[in-house]
Each structure stands twice: as C-alpha cells, then as structure tokens.
Structure 1
Amino acid sequence: MTLPVLSKENIQLNQKVETKENAIKMTGELLVARGYVQPSYIDKMLEREELTSTYMGNFVAIPHGTEEGKQSVNESGIAIIQVPEGVEFGTGNVVKLLIGIAGKEDEHLDILSQIAIVCSEEENVEKIVAATSAEEILELFEGVN
C-alpha cells in the first residue's frame, strides 16, 4: 500500500522546539514514524543543514536529506510541524513552519515546487501557522499529491 504524500497524520500542531537541530530531528522523526524514511535519513537531514540552510524565508524551513540520503527514503512524503513561538534557524531567521520532505528519485523536486507555490504567499504561511486543525493545513496543500 502506498502512503499518501501528505495526510493529517503527517501534521503536528503547536509544537515547541528550542534549537534548529531539534527542529530538524523532530521533523525527521515524524517522517520515520509515518514510514516514509529509515532513521538514517535524519542524519542526512542534519548534514544537509550544515551544507546549506534549509531556511526559505517567510518563517518557513524545508529540512530534507542530502543526495546520499535518498537511499534511506522508502516513499515520498511530507511532514509539517507548526511552531507558533518560532525557532531560530541562524541569526535572525525565525521559523514557525517546518516542512520536512523525503522524495524518491526526482519526486522531491515536484514536492518542493508545490510547497514553494503555497509558501510563497505570506498569507498562506500565516494561515498555516495560525491553523488550529490539520484539516485546515491540508486544505491549503490540496494541490500537493
């Protein structure tokens, strides 16, 4: 059975996280728990962050693994973690929305472009950060599959 790329079980609301490393681990652990990736993918997500920040602006970070990390991906998926109080991703960069992605082959590029479309509008990001249910967030990502 194929997992949906995004479902309400992949969304965590009102999380508190102290550090960017913990934020990335939390995002990776959700991908692991849902069966999208093997635990080794989390190390590749942390490695990616050391190479180049996954902070995208607009209070959004998109943690994902390195190229070698693809070997640890079982299925393409997205994990969304809402951090209303924010977590610092480098000097002055506050993240309130973590979108962890795992993509098989080149599927991550399609997933990234869909996320970029939704998150390029500040209004959408504000709605996601203020959402009180996973369903509200799912509606904004309806086109992502």
Structure 2
Amino acid sequence: MSTNILKKENIELNKSLATKEEAIRYVGGILNEQGYVDEAYIEEMLKREEITSTFMGNFVAIPHGTEDAKKAVNETGISVVTVPEGVDFGDGNIVKLLIGIAGKGNEHLEILSQIAIVCSEEENVEKLIAAETKEEVLQTFSEVE
C-alpha cells in the first residue's frame, strides 16, 4: 500500500469511543485533518452507515462515504483507529478496528481488497488491535502486496 495512502499521521491507537457515530466521525476527522477529504465527507460516511452497516465481522468496520461523497474526496487515503475496548456498531457487532476509507475514482476498490486480505486473517486483526506503535500497523499493512 502506498505510503501516501496510509501514513503515521493517519493512525490512532488505543482510543476510547463511546458510540458508532463518534467512531465514524473520528476516523473521518483524521481523513479530513490530513487533507484527503473535505468535511462534507464525514456526513456522507454517516449516511452510508445508515444505508448499510460497514461492520465486516472479525471486530472490523470500514466506514466510507456514499457514491455522492466522491466530490468531497481530494485524494485517496485511509485512516486506522484501534479501539481495544470495542465500540458497539449495533446488532451486537463490536468493533475494535476502524479503517476509514476515502477513494478517488475507483481507487477505493483496490484498497478495500487489500484491507480485506489483511483483515481476513484473524491473527492480523489481533495484531493490529494489540499494536502499541504506529509502525506495527504500517508493517502489517505493508506485508500485503
């Protein structure tokens, strides 16, 4: 995964987030602060969540915007936030690893597939949730080619 898409500034470890909305706003906020998206994108991430949950199983959620959100994306990027205590995404789905995605054009599809590969391995997810340094997170994602 290219270093512009996921860099240290996009990673936050051991956060405590009370609600699904707070969690989505947090990962979207990182994308916004780092210049990947305009603030409007965060609202589209919340809309997307209302349409269909971004919970993927295995303690992972991948919040991202709706199709309409594309105009709010400046460049492709992802944010990674670990919530070891978990945040309830509804229906008993607990999320401990949040991966926010903003994709220019269709670039998000490639990113999604790379994330899916990483997160399909339970031990990778455990490693990411337990990570104590941002380097460990970068390392886990960089092993996927």
Q: Normalized against structure 1, the TM-score is what?
A: 0.96
AA at the equivalent of 1:16: S
Q: Deviation string for 1:75-121 (max 9, x for gaps)?
A: 00000000000000012100000000000000000000000000000
Question: What are the residue-to-residue correspondences of 1:102-117 with 2, within 5 Å?
Answer: 102-117=102-117
Q: Say which SS state the counterpart of residue 142 (structure 2) adopts.
A: coil
Match of 1:33 in 2: 33
Q: CA deviation at 1:143?
A: 4.9
Contact 1:111 1:144 in 2 (8 A): no
Distance 2:28 2:9 in 1: 14
Distance 1:10 1:42 in 2: 15
Query: Cα–Cα, structure 1 residues 143 and 103, in superposed 2: closer, same or farther, change >3 Å?
Result: farther
Match of 1:137 in 2: 137
Contact 1:13 1:134 in 2 (8 A): yes
Q: Percent identity?
A: 64
Match of 1:85 in 2: 85
Contact 2:118 2:144 in 1 (8 A): no
How many aligned positions are there? 144
Distance 1:119 1:8 in 2: 19
Match of 2:60 in 1: 60
Q: Say which SS state the counterpart of residue 112 (structure 2) adopts.
A: helix
Distance 1:26 1:136 in 2: 21
AA at the equivalent of 1:85: E
- CA RMSD across the alignment: 1.4
Q: Say which SS state the counterpart of residue 105 (structure 2) adopts.
A: coil
Query: Cα–Cα, structure 1 residues 63 and 97, in superposed 2: closer, same or farther, change >3 Å?
Result: same
AA at the equivalent of 2:81: I
Distance 1:124 1:20 in 2: 23
Q: CA deviation at 1:144?
A: 6.1
Q: CA deviation at 1:69?
A: 0.2
Query: Cα–Cα, structure 1 residues 71 and 6, in superposed 2: closer, same or farther, change >3 Å?
Result: same
Runs of 4+ in 1 over 4 A off after TM superposition: none
Contact 1:118 1:124 in 2 (8 A): yes
